[in-house]
């Protein structure tokens, strides 16, 4: 089995190195890794953030481990050449429409949550974020109107089949958890959201065992900090899911802890092809300082083992080692500790 490793920019290569240490420590037979350039690093080396050879490697692999992309020195490039287009391009080219972003409180981290410890302790939720549609992929431009004013626009849309397939993923995820699904939208204002809500309700007929509720996104943002324990699975669109998942990360202590899986429908013999990445970005403000927390990247590797390689036991082993490291006080600066990137990776390897 082949894992494509795309480290990317900023802290991407630093956290990827730690995930690779963990993978090596598992000593799995018949696993091969292959590296490729992506993001700003790929633009500088090949003139494109997602070079054809990188995409070809991803297509020829069983799973992709992805660090992060984003480089401030590329901010003035035309949009299609910017580093972020690489991750958007991969999600679209590989039809990775289902983005799973779990947020669970690790024991002993309650004091680092942005919430009161007794509130934070209740967090065990999964955000199912749609990843192939919404305002992200509609027509967009800055144009000049007849009267000379510049106008920016981004077309927001969802087709019913796009909503239906993510709703199925979310209902099935809820069936495997606490059987509660909250669909988050802005149906009081947006037609896109009205269709979303209608289709989620239609789909719910196939899942009578799952309790479905609906919430407007502004209320959901508030409820996430007021009483996050009320959520089991949250399903939402691309933009709302992006924002709510960063918010959820601070509820459990740090963005350096949240992993994600981006899945499609293509089945392999081993499981489901997917891309696995932390929810955070390239963190240019701390790149090169050795302060990045590699836990989100390592937990993304655990999700890869689970979803793409079917190695549930090894996935749990990695997750348990991360939890034990935290319990033992191995914490990066993001969690108020003094452990550096490599020190955290080494501690997790030792605990494995
Ligand atoms: N999937 C991705 O590759 C991805 C995701 C988000 C942002 N980005 C890109 O990353 C760049 C920076 O974006 P941003 O600053 O808005 O978001 P960011 O997530 O990179 O950083 C936000 C803040 O969190 C901190 N942080 C992030 N990850 C951390 C970690 N593992 N350990 C400790 N601290 C961590 C950073 O230091 C920063 O202060 C931009 O170019 C953005 O577009 C890429
Ligand atoms: C870098 C950006 C395109 C990306 C997104 O908005 O999806 C990021 O914020 C994420 O959460 O993965
Ligand atoms: Mg984001």
Mean pLDDT along residues 35-64: 97
Per residue in 174-201, pLDDT tens?
A: 999 999 999 999 999 999 999 999 999 9
How high does pLDDT run on average in the chain? 96
Set out the domains of the chain in order of their start, with CATH numbers. Answer: 1-100+258-352 (3.40.718.10), 114-251 (3.40.718.10)
Q: Which residues have any ligand 1 atom within 6 Å of their CB?
A: 11, 68-70, 84, 87, 255-256, 277, 280-286, 292-293, 296, 332, 334
- Ligand 1 pocket mutation, candidates 66, 281, 293, criterion most atoms within 8 A of CB: 281
Residue 272 binned pLDDT confidence (cut-offs 50, 70, 90): confident
The Cα-based distances of 290 to 6, 9, 12, 18, 36 in angstroms read: 19, 14, 12, 12, 22
pLDDT at 145: 97
Spatial distance between the Cα atoms of 166 and 57, rounded to a whole number of angstroms: 26
pLDDT at 268: 58
| ipTM at complex level | 0.99
Q: Find out whether 27 is annotated in a ligand binding site.
A: no
- DSSP annotation string for 326-344: HHTT---GGGT----HHHH
Q: Which residues are catalytic?
A: 136, 186, 218, 242, 246
On whether the CB atoms of residues 6 and 64 are closer than 8 A, the answer is yes
- pLDDT at residue 16 greater than cutoff 90: yes
Spatial distance between the Cα atoms of 68 and 51, rounded to a whole number of angstroms: 16
Mean pLDDT along residues 68-77: 97
Residue 76 per-residue DSSP state: T
- pLDDT at residue 82 greater than cutoff 70: yes
Comparing CA positions, the residue from 93, 76, 85 lying closest to residue 8 is 85
Answer whether 0.95 is exceeded by the pTM.
yes
Sign of CA dihedral 325, 330, 331, 336: positive
Comparing CA positions, the residue from 293, 341, 339, 299 lying closest to residue 321 is 299
* Tokens 């293509």, located at residue: 266
pLDDT at 42: 98
């Amino acid at each position: 089995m082949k894992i494509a490793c795309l480290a990317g920019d900023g802290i991407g290569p630093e956290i990827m190195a730690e995930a690779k240490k963990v993978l090596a420590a598992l000593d799995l037979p018949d696993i091969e890794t292959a590296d490729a350039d992506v993001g700003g690093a790929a633009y500088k080396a090949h003139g494109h953030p997602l070079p054809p050879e990188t995409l070809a490697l991803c297509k020829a692999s069983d799973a992709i481990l992805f660090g992060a992309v984003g480089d401030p020195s590329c901010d003035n490039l035309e949009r299609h050449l910017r580093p972020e287009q690489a991750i958007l391009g991969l999600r679209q080219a590989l039809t990775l429409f289902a983005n799973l972003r779990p947020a669970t409180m690790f024991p002993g981290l309650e004091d680092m949550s942005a919430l009161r410890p007794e509130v934070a302790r209740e967090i065990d939720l999964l955000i199912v974020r749609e990843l192939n549609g919404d305002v992200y992929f509609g027509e967009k431009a800055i144009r000049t109107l007849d009267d000379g004013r510049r106008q920016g626009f981004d077309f927001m849309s969802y087709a019913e089949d796009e909503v239906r397939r993510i709703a199925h993923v979310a209902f099935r995820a809820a069936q495997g958890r606490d059987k509660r699904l909250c669909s988050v939208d802005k149906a009081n204002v947006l037609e896109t959201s009205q269709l979303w809500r209608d289709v989620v309700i239609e789909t719910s007929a196939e899942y009578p065992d799952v309790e479905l509720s609906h919430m407007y996104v502004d209320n959901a943002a508030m409820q996430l900090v007021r009483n996050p324990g009320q959520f089991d699975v949250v399903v939402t669109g691309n933009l709302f899911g992006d924002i709510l998942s960063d918010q959820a990360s601070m509820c459990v202590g740090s963005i350096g802890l949240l992993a994600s899986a981006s899945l499609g429908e293509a089945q392999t013999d081993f499981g489901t092809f997917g891309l696995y990445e932390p929810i955070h970005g390239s963190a240019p403000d701390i790149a090169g300082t050795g302060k990045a927390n590699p836990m989100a990247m390592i937990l993304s590797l655990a999700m890869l083992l689970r979803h793409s390689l079917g190695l549930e036991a090894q996935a749990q082993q990695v997750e348990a080692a991360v939890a034990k490291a935290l319990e033992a006080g191995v914490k990066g600066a993001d969690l108020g500790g003094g452990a550096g990137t490599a020190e955290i990776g080494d501690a997790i390897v030792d605990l494995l």
